């Protein structure tokens, strides 16, 4: 040790009488004050406590995870314990819910609230990806708030759709297939355009109808579309054929959208949920989805297009050749 180092080691500050550390900055020397006794005791206790913690709880990372600890306590066990408490509270309602019919659920305030709470949570986890958190859907994904149903909007029908899906591969899934009239050369491009204008006019509630060849459109519709959509265009739920008179469009109601649907057809898919969710969850979802729009209601009457006869341009025979009638399949079931 040099003489200079020895001088720094034993140097004492004249004003405070405390040794210095030998460090100096711009004429200021650092005093070597000892740590407070209370601070040292806290440090020692913390060290002892940490050693105990490392033994009791998982802490040290090792290949494949971490040391287990003598308690075996993990975030997963804590989560499972808290979930078990929730399940025990739910079980009180589940015991009643399992044996209750949809009618009983809708008439029991407690069961109804239970179904809505569970359905709302499960909808966000499983359905919101396609239908949106508010169930308003999007292009190609149905809006579940408008009570416009392809396969029926009763609780039983919604439950069946959830169980088996649409074009899901399940043997009981809903399946419908509209021909690609243009792509498959069933109609010419001119005929597809004529049919597009006619279908748009059927759903229009404006006073001004698009310019079109009504007679040609009527003939094309009756020949190619009426077998599924009905002669008045109100659809048929047995085939999953949409109502074309209500102005509600799954793939868009612009002319280009409707033309694309007629020309190339559409084939959306919804999974079968019976192998992913339990029966109680599916019934809760059915109640929640059914109530999103307040239950299915009767729709207003469609617009019926006056079709000129070949020999009498002034004849105003309705498209289905009948008087206006109530839309099919729109009552609560």
Q: Say if CB 319 and CB 202 are below 8 A apart.
A: yes
What pLDDT is stored for residue 243 in this prediction? 94
What pLDDT is stored for residue 213 in this prediction? 66
User: How far is the CA of 120 from the CAs of 149, 160, 162, in angstroms?
Assistant: 20, 18, 15
| Beta bridge pairs of residue 304 | none
Domain limits, the chain: 75-174+274-292, 189-269+302-317
Look at domain 75-174+274-292 and name its CATH class: mainly alpha
Question: φ and ψ at 316, to 5 degrees?
Answer: -115, 55
User: How far is the CA of 91 from the CAs of 87, 95, 284, 290, in angstroms?
Assistant: 6, 6, 14, 24
Segment 139-152, tens digit of pLDDT: 999 999 988 899 99
Question: φ and ψ at 284, to 5 degrees?
Answer: -65, -40
Measured CA to CA, the distance from residue 333 to residue 159 in angstroms comes to: 13
75-174+274-292 and 189-269+302-317 agree in CATH topology: yes
Name the token pair of 120: 């709302």
Give the mean model confidence (pLDDT) for residues 94-122.
91
CATH fold group of domain 189-269+302-317: Cytochrome Bc1 Complex; Chain D, domain 2 (1.10.760)
Measured CA to CA, the distance from residue 177 to residue 166 in angstroms comes to: 11
Give the contacts of 119 (CB within 8 A, at least 6 positions apart): 284, 285, 286, 287, 288, 289
Q: Is the pLDDT at 204 greater than 80, yes or no?
A: no
Segment 148-192, tens digit of pLDDT: 899 999 999 999 999 999 999 999 999 999 999 999 999 999 999
What pLDDT is stored for residue 75 in this prediction? 78
Give the mean model confidence (pLDDT) for residues 44-56.
92
* Range with top average pLDDT, 70-79, 95-104, 217-226, 293-302: 217-226
Give the mean model confidence (pLDDT) for residues 22-47.
89
Query: Which has the closest alpha carbon to 171: 242, 265, 266, 274?
Result: 274
């Amino acid at each position: 040790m040099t003489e200079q180092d020895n001088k720094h080691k034993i140097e004492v500050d004249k004003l405070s009488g405390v040794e210095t550390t030998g460090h100096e900055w711009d004429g200021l020397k650092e005093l070597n004050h000892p740590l407070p006794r209370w601070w040292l005791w806290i440090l020692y206790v913390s060290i002892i406590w940490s050693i105990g913690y490392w033994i009791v709880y998982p802490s040290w990372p090792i290949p494949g995870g971490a040391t287990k600890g003598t308690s075996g306590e993990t975030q997963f066990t804590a989560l499972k314990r808290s979930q078990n408490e929730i399940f025990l509270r739910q079980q009180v309602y589940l015991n009643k819910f399992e044996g209750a019919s949809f009618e009983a659920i809708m008439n029991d305030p407690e069961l109804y609230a239970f179904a809505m709470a569970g359905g709302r949570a499960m909808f966000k986890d499983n359905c919101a990806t396609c239908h949106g958190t508010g169930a308003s859907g999007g292009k190609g994904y149905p809006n579940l708030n408008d009570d416009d149903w392809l396969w029926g909007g009763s609780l039983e029908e919604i439950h069946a759709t959830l169980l088996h899906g649409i074009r899901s591969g399940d043997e009981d899934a809903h399946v419908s297939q509209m021909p690609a009239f243009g792509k498959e050369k069933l109609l010419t491009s001119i005929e597809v355009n004529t049919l597009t204008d006619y279908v748009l006019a059927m759903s229009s509630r404006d006073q001004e109808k698009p310019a079109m060849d009504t007679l040609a459109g009527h003939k094309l519709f009756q020949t190619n579309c009426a077998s599924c959509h009905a002669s008045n265009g109100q659809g048929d739920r047995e085939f999953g054929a949409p109502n074309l008179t209500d102005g509600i469009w799954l793939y868009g109601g612009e002319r280009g959208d409707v033309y694309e649907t007629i020309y190339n057809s559409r084939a959306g898919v919804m999974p079968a949920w019976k192998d992913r969710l339990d029966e109680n969850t599916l019934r809760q979802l059915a109640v929640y989805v059914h109530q999103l729009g307040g239950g299915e209601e009767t729709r207003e009457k469609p617009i019926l297009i006056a079709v000129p006869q070949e020999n009498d341009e002034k004849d105003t025979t309705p498209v289905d050749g009948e008087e206006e009638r109530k839309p099919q399949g729109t009552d609560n079931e």
